[in-house]
Structure 1
């Protein structure tokens, strides 16, 4: 916890230790009733025999041999890939222009074969003005079918042919024939068709191909690896590609109801001593899906036992049950597995329930003679009545780490991509495979070598390294590296920086104005609005409202920095401007276009209340009290339980109760 943070209440508090073991800190999500993943309205589990045939094909039926031709519904070659494409171009363009296009295509391929980087080769070839819309559509199709490595763009009425950068990138990973056939398959867009790459025994190479397709065509296509037999009858893995079901119009079944195209499985994840994203990394690697296929309502503590609902896409309940025992070895248990019909959203929870044990109870050093029992009772009643400052907790910033997440977020906001990568790979002071790999990377910038050193579950690190291996550890390469990890992970670091600024702003606000609501403060008139984002509900307090004491400190909000929020019109607003200028940030810079990050900002209440607070002391009869009727400090533990709203931190509430920094 940052030492500059303030306290709201005036009681003395006491000392103690939390998180002696994960079981001392248990967190259970309180779901929103209508969105609970254990809702009785969820779809019942299906036995394997009840899985609809549409779901079992083709993923559940791996190919017997590699197939690299685009196929129709019955596995026949696509008729549009034959010689018709050539005659169509002759008729649409005329023979002379068609021959010039052939030469352009040939020169481009030769240039690609000769160069090793950059954009070598002719820049583009004009087909001239094409006024008729049907002719333009015919040309687009005919060019793509004859030359899968070309793309056509229309500028005004003029059609330009250029090299397809995605084609060029893929042909550096697989053979020319596979690349050509893949793009013909992609262009044909035949429902229920599949495409398979040649058998590939190199796991790391397969991952690169998987990631290329997901990065470039993830909204349209999905991939899976299957065991196939190569030409020597040796088992190898092959990557199969198919169109995502959601890209086809929903069919109606015989009873007139729409069939569900997406498969979602809900479960409760119990984890111990694991970050939420780390746990998802383990699950994704074991299930063969992407981390982005998991949805959840919030990030949970690492040093705790936590229970939270999750939903995973494209995985059956039966498949999830299969891996349950293996996940227990990683510190996870999977409960309440069942089918559901939708994913979860961040913040889609009522709150969290905490059951916490505080051990090693002691007086503060400046308060040695007080009755510890009275100190505990006084503290509990004070916070129950007055609440606590709604700071972001230390786990938001990577407590105890050499580099905290907000530092990475600031580097990203300043578009210092290489610095952000170096901060990301800064190791901790321990000797283990992950930190040894990070040290190696910082010393050598050898992304490929570092990849082999990292364990499989380090999903974010591996995603970033694969891009760095391909593009280099420079500004462009590091930008592409950050783009390689999911958006939710990229923005996590930026939000950490915004949270740090909010914490500092809250301390400054309470230092100069205390708990009195003053002119220029921002307030939320309706206390039921937990989080307000970019709307007109936030009100600026007037001088007359200050005089009338119209609002309480429980209604005051401070902005989370962003490009679309308003700031207090008093000294706090000025503080924001000065604080951001220290980090070389201006108010309009909370958009990082190269990383597709947009940070509009929101508002957060300064003070929050704790709900359902209860506690008791545990120890032997002789341990609880000595002959002076005072607590025997060494033998007693405090059990405390309470509920908090979403995005509130139990460590922050305990800090207010105990007047300790953790």
Structure 2
């Protein structure tokens, strides 16, 4: 690992890179600089960041914004953003009330639905149109070819939303899908067009697109507010119109019980609201109480533990009424907003997250008037946030990616890629001696968390006595990887690869992806040191994003199918038949820029990507690309060959992927500065606070009661001698709010640590 002397030496260069030449500056809207922090006042947290490659800043400024993050878990509120741009909020915990009727077989249900032609509610049963499509499900090819033409009224509506050119492109995409229904989604064109910033109108447009084009076209909004339309993947279209709907209902179905077709689908989509809990912790609790398989539940991505988070989840053949009943005993979480759908969620089925973050005890270095002039402090925050959108931040993988234990997840991944499976198992089963000492002495005054003490004691007991049951009785349930390793190695002490393969797939893949992320962080730091914001020949851009700019494509390789791990990162399996159905069933390809393209002004730093190392990616054709071979040959880099990432075990044979070098927050953001006194004061309302306020207001309103409930991000205004900053912004999937805050504060934000959490 990097020593402290090496850290100090690396931080000695000047704090600013030279600015671009005037000629280059004129050709680029964003003229960024890169600075390195000085070693002075380099905190332990910053040293940890440095060790995982988080070393530079984009926008140099002298003032450090100091503050405390996550002092309360309600200081970090995360709401998932759906692919259509809708922000997920918990609005109801009640199951939709369905009409009861006498159970009938499928053919009778279809016949009745076709005869009635009645539409049904969005949250309930499918429309008659979908039922009619279902009746033809035995011939999906014919069904796709017989899609109706777009009515003139619908076309005029689309022109009202966009313009003639955009509508023509959309219609061409639609006709392409009609004429070639068996093509994969990525084999059709992608349409990009300007979009309204009015979120209520956006939702209507997304809904209208689904209705007009019969869900054959998917729409989503990127961070810059651009609408992206592409063909729905063939699996999604098959699920909507395919044979699954032609199966008969359960013959043992009770009279008066609605079938899945009548409800709207076999997959129940619902919202999980949680406080200070892991996503898997809530899902595991639900599976135990519902007595169902964990595989029944799917979600788009995991969320922070020490936070208040809201996200969508789906469950296969679970009734809403059963889930609603769990709210009576759920602690620190709620479920609600139930809807039945034809298909479940997949990892990655989100466009990003919206954050409402409270920073407490804020101070600005060399700005003592910040506490006497709240307006000046607010203006400073506004300037910093604007820079996060205009100039961006280095799109590092945050420290969460590498774990909070003494043995980082990327180190475990490095051992796996080196095929040193024993070292990988030993690394997972390490613990800190302080945690064991505290557990054995039953020290109640220590700041070490109880789970970490129990983990250390369980592993120690297993290593010492080889008694599995005694160890598992002590080990907290959430440490599933440790439990699986101990179970397997008790039976087969030398089968380390077999032990690793018993760990949940997403988790064991996260180890190797963490090492890829570590290399990416180091490469991003190197690239920004070399070139700053300048776009240079050999830099990579994504092919699919710039088809309109490119005169020719250097890479025409067939696409590789991807899945994502629990952090939302791409998992690429090299075997072509090993598929996973995704809403965006495409692996991005990149190409190198020519010298003419770099001087054209058509590309900025926000377009440039760097690869995670793999056997199916392109490396930059410049010094930035050469760095991969240099760094990866070192012990820290794993002594690996970036051009030889195939392994005997397919799962660890990495194809690689691409990631933008510079990220930015969405253009819609807000800042507030408020005074407060007590650290335990809650300064922002959560979705659950809002829900209760709504219910109280509704109940009182019936007797002439309260006003309209407050919004979820409304400040609970206080007075006091301390300053809190409340920041609201949006980030894309797999972008880290903590990394954006690091750029905003110049490393001055410290994360509150309620207890010691260094188990490994």
Asked if these proteins are the same fold (TM beyond 0.5), I'd say yes
1:564 matched residue in structure 2: 616
1:642 matched residue in structure 2: 729
Q: Note the alpha carbon deviations across 1:404-446, whole angstroms, 9 max, x for none.
A: 2212222222222222222222235335323321333354554
Aligned runs of 1:101-120 on 2, under 5 Å? Answer: none
Aligned with 2:49: secondary structure? coil
1:470 paired to 2:494: no
Q: TM-score, normalised by structure 1?
A: 0.60
**Structure 1: any 5+ residue segments left out of the alignment?**
55-245, 622-631
Q: Note the alpha carbon deviations across 1:165-192, whole angstroms, 9 max, x for none.
A: xxxxxxxxxxxxxxxxxxxxxxxxxxxx
Aligned with 1:578: secondary structure? helix
1:402 paired to 2:406: yes
Aligned runs of 1:513-552 on 2, under 5 Å? Answer: 513-524=531-542, 527=545, 537-552=589-604
Aligned runs of 1:71-220 on 2, under 5 Å? Answer: none
Give the Cα separation in 2 of the matches to 1:357 and 1:35: 23
1:269 paired to 2:356: no
2:665 matched residue in structure 1: 610
In the alignment, is the contact (CA less than 8 A) between 1:354 and 1:642 conserved in 2? Answer: yes
Give the Cα separation in 2 of the matches to 1:553 and 1:514: 9
In the alignment, is the contact (CA less than 8 A) between 2:378 and 2:673 conserved in 1? Answer: no
1:354 matched residue in structure 2: 355
Aligned runs of 1:391-470 on 2, under 5 Å? Answer: 391-399=396-404, 401-427=405-431, 429=435, 430=448, 431=450, 432-444=453-465, 446-470=467-491
Give the Cα separation in 2 of the matches to 1:261 and 1:268: 17
Aligned with 1:269: secondary structure? strand
Give the Cα separation in 1 of the matches to 2:482 and 2:664: 38
Give the Cα separation in 2 of the matches to 1:420 and 1:465: 13
Give the Cα separation in 1 of the matches to 2:673 and 2:101: 54
Instruction: Kindly name which structure, 1 or 2, has the bigger radius of gyration based on alpha carbons.
Output: 1
Select between 591-600 and 512-521 the one with higher mean Cα deviation.
591-600
2:76 matched residue in structure 1: 25
1:656 paired to 2:743: yes
Q: Note the alpha carbon deviations across 1:540-599, whole angstroms, 9 max, x for none.
A: 122333344442111100001222111111111111112222212223554454473442
Kindly state the Cα deviation for residue 280 of structure 1 after the two structures are TM-superposed.
3.1
Kindly state the Cα deviation for residue 307 of structure 1 after the two structures are TM-superposed.
0.7
Kindly state the Cα deviation for residue 267 of structure 1 after the two structures are TM-superposed.
1.8
In the alignment, is the contact (CA less than 8 A) between 1:281 and 1:459 conserved in 2? Answer: no
Q: 1:279 to 1:482 in 2, by over 3 A?
A: farther
Kindly state the Cα deviation for residue 402 of structure 1 after the two structures are TM-superposed.
1.4
Kindly state the Cα deviation for residue 9 of structure 1 after the two structures are TM-superposed.
0.8
Kindly state the Cα deviation for residue 316 of structure 1 after the two structures are TM-superposed.
3.0
Q: Note the alpha carbon deviations across 1:307-345, whole angstroms, 9 max, x for none.
A: 1111123533333233333331xx322222343332211
Q: 1:352 to 1:481 in 2, by over 3 A?
A: same
1:315 paired to 2:357: no
In the alignment, is the contact (CA less than 8 A) between 1:362 and 1:633 conserved in 2? Answer: no
In the alignment, is the contact (CA less than 8 A) between 2:96 and 2:320 conserved in 1? Answer: no
> Which one of the candidate residues 238, 247, 254 is aligned to 1:251?
247
Give the Cα separation in 1 of the matches to 2:652 and 2:672: 46
Aligned with 2:430: secondary structure? coil
Give the Cα separation in 1 of the matches to 2:486 and 2:343: 32
Select between 381-390 and 522-531 the one with higher mean Cα deviation.
522-531
1:498 paired to 2:516: yes
Kindly state the Cα deviation for residue 606 of structure 1 after the two structures are TM-superposed.
0.9
Give the Cα separation in 2 of the matches to 1:50 and 1:35: 37
Aligned with 1:515: secondary structure? coil
